[in-house]
Amino acid sequence: MKIRSIAAPQELQGDRYHKRAEYWKLCGLIDASKIVLFSPVSYRSIEADKYEMRLSYETVLEWLGQPTAGMRKELSQLLSQGLCKPQGVWTNVGTDIKLLEWIGWLYDLQVQKYPNLWIVGKRSTGKGGKVDPWMERSFSKLGYRFTLRLKLGVKPNGDGWGSQRHLSAVHLHIDGAASCSSFLMPELQKMTADCSLRPQKTGKSIAIGRDVPLMKGKDYDEERASEVFKAAQEVQAWFEKNEEALLKVLALGESDRSKA
């Protein structure tokens, strides 16, 4: 079984499997055997031709379909993680598996109900044991960097991440824009006047977005999760509508700062 496409074969791995199977036959432990390479489709190995059969994660996932419970669901989740996780994650004890499963549920819900949300990034892998309920995506346009942050979960004191303790925040951050806030804020306020989104200065960034009812980690509340994605959809629609004007305003803001 191989987890990722670049995992190298162990020395004489295929030959050792064959020898082990023959030994078990001689001992009477088994009557027959078949040596199978179980891996992602993308896996490449100089040992691949030494296996009698090859079976891919993708084939098994397609066969499983979308199981809702039991061992089939657990196997489906395990294989899905195997297709996106770096190898080191599999031996990491510190990953919060329950939180990782909840994040997987969130992303599955997004795919099912809001499939056009390109602004939402890839799901967390739990790499190095680090996993949190925030959903983030960073991207660049003409040298300007943006980050969508869906601030789910709660702070250690139990408060939400929005403007009030019972709220979560859905914000598109314009990274580094706070240094031009005196010029940019009035312009961004005009650009958001006809919608529910509002700009605000957040550290070194300016964030455009709104708050939603608090979404707690590991809370399978589809209604609240939908409110998060609705807000993200609104942010995405706003960005797509105003992208050209926004980039011009950011360029003017840089020019204004350089003159000062």
Question: Residue 5's pLDDT band (boundaries 50, 70, 90)?
Answer: very low
**Beta-carbon count within 10 A of 34 CB:** 8
Name 212's bridge partners.
168
Measured on CA atoms in the order 185, 187, 188, 190, is the torsion positive or negative? Answer: positive
The position carrying tokens 């089939």 is 72
Residue 114 has pLDDT above 90, yes or no: yes
Residue 86 main-chain phi, psi, to 5 deg: -70, 155
Question: Residue 54's pLDDT band (boundaries 50, 70, 90)?
Answer: confident
Measured on CA atoms in the order 114, 116, 121, 124, is the torsion positive or negative? Answer: positive
* Range 50-69 average pLDDT: 83
pTM (2 d.p.): 0.65
Residue 2 has pLDDT above 70, yes or no: no
Query: What pLDDT, on a 0 to 100 scale, did the predictor assign at position 73?
Result: 82
Residue pair 177/250 in contact by the 8 Å Cβ criterion: yes
- Which candidate, 58, 111, 113, places its Cα nearest to that of 122? 111
Identity of the amino acid at 160: G
Question: Residue 93's pLDDT band (boundaries 50, 70, 90)?
Answer: very low
Q: What is the mean pLDDT of the chain?
A: 85
Q: Name, of 29-43, 195-209, 242-256, the range with top average pLDDT.
A: 195-209
Q: CA-CA distance, 210 to 215, in Å (whole number)?
A: 14
Calculate what percentage of the chain has a pLDDT beyond 90: 48
Lowest mean pLDDT among 12-21, 63-72, 89-98, 190-199: 89-98
Q: Name, of 19-23, 27-31, 195-199, the range with top average pLDDT.
A: 195-199
Q: CA-CA distance, 196 to 161, in Å (whole number)?
A: 18
Query: Three-class SS of residue 189?
Result: helix
Name 213's bridge partners.
167
Calculate what percentage of the chain has a pLDDT beyond 70: 86
Torsion of CA 191, 196, 199, 202, to 10 degrees: -160
Residue 231 has pLDDT above 90, yes or no: yes
